[in-house]
Amino acid sequence: MSSMAEMVENNVMDVLSGRTDNRNPHEAVADFARQVLQPDMALVVVFVAPGHDLDKMGLLFKASFPDCPVIGCTTSGEITPDGYSENSVTGFSLSGKNTKAKPYAIESVKNLQPETIQSIKDDARKKISNFHKNHKNSNEFALFFVDGMSGAEERSVALLYQALQNIPLIGGSAGDNLRFKETFVLVDGEFKTDAAVATLICTTLPFETFKTQHFIPTETKLVITSADPSTRTVYEINGLPAAEEYARLIGVSQQGLLPAVFSRFPLMLRIGGEYYVRSLQKKNDDGSLTFYCAIDNGLVLTIGKGVDLVENLNQALMDVSSRVKDPQLLITCECILRRVEVLQDGLTDRVDDILKKYNAIGFHSYGEQFNAVHVNQTFSGVMIGRKQ
């Protein structure tokens, strides 16, 4: 990977975004590269739908951008310059003397070792110190993409956030279009499982990280009475079979426990006075429930109730843009269950109009990371403005 010193400076930061629906790996990468190629690139980020030839595409991305790091992951839907998409490739490139980026590959994320995090911490502090010496009023944030089937998000993001000494962090868990088989992270020309990539971005440009969710707690509470945290599986709720009790509490049949229902009736956990969504992934044949996040015995959860998703999203982005003047890029990770709800309710055009207004580029994920917490059913991101 390129070091900070190797990243050439430019007068302004340029953001070029791209999208292609081509399925031929050579043609797809070439098409994408034509759209985002620019002088002196600091970073290229790509989001690739499952089903593409990932082995070939990883090598082609590296060859197409030989002097610039390329990171990314597989998706459960893409957020492109045209709005929501599927089975596509999308992403962006960053360039500018006001911004530098350094990715850190994390292998074997399921068994993350302290020395891996320590090495990231040591190098990142040097990069930040050097950037601050040459750029006044600079700040930094981190992007984090992780194997969405690893089950390692909680531990890895907590350790990383602590190591980076509370630098704002946003990220997402890679997807595979709700197959729940294999998800991949792209780093150094290879799509890998059981991996993650953390990217430090230092900039003098205005930015703000944020998350929003459109759920509020109801009065209905429940207790997890039997669970396997290692597999995120719940076997009993309130002392009864998990799927049976959850279905009873929300008033549907067990046969109706599908993603469209999960998207409307998530569970919520209160942490430090704030409620976080704990989304369900699937109902298993044995009547247990698998979640997108860690679930442990004894947790008291509350069933959530949705408010207007479109209005919530529009207001959240308006609030952020009032502080980040003239936004030129919105990097976002949005939960797959939000996408399910948007599609089911016919809200795509309204959501697309909002996303295009802020040049949103991102993907639909199996969970989002915000600072030290792995969250669900959120729209999380970082809005980057222009230097005033």
Q: What is the dihedral of CA 360, 366, 371, 373, to 10 degrees?
A: 150
Of 271, 375, 279, 354, the residue nearest 309 (C-alpha): 354
Q: What is the helix (H) or strand (E) element at residue 70, kind and residue range?
A: strand 70-74
Rounded to whole angstroms, the Cα distance separating 74 from 184 reads 6
Of 190, 163, 47, 40, the residue nearest 100 (C-alpha): 40
pLDDT for 103: 96
pLDDT for 4: 34
pLDDT for 272: 83
Rounded to whole angstroms, the Cα distance separating 123 from 216 reads 41
pLDDT for 95: 78
Count of C-beta atoms within a 10 Å radius of residue 86: 16
Tens of each residue's pLDDT in the chain, 388 residues: 333 333 333 335 479 999 999 999 999 999 999 999 998 899 999 999 999 999 999 999 999 999 999 999 999 999 999 999 999 999 999 976 678 999 999 999 999 998 999 999 999 999 888 888 888 788 999 999 999 999 999 999 999 999 998 899 999 999 999 999 999 999 999 999 999 999 999 988 899 999 999 999 999 999 999 999 999 999 999 999 999 999 999 999 999 999 999 999 999 999 888 899 999 999 999 999 999 998 999 999 999 999 999 999 999 999 999 999 889 999 999 999 999 999 999 999 999 999 999 999 999 999 999 999 999 999 999 999 987 6
Q: Residue 355 phi/psi, 5° resolution?
A: -65, -40
β-pairing verdict for 195-203 and 207-212: unpaired
Q: Which residue has the tokens 């959860």?
A: 301
CB-based contacts of 267: which residues, under 8 Å, 6+ apart?
Answer: 222, 277, 278, 279, 280, 301, 302, 303, 304
DSSP 301-353: EEEEEE--HHHHHHHHHHHHHHHS-S--EEEEEEEHHHHHHHHHTT-HHHHHH
The separation between CA 63 and the C-alpha centre of its own chain, rounded to angstroms, equals: 25
pLDDT for 96: 66
Q: Say whether 244 sits in a helix, a strand or coil.
A: helix
The separation between CA 336 and the C-alpha centre of its own chain, rounded to angstroms, equals: 10
Rounded to whole angstroms, the Cα distance separating 160 from 320 reads 25
pLDDT for 98: 76
Which tokens in the block code for residue 294?
């860690």
Rounded to whole angstroms, the Cα distance separating 178 from 180 reads 5
Amino acid (one-letter) located at 11? N
DSSP 296-315: -TT-EEEEEEE--HHHHHHH
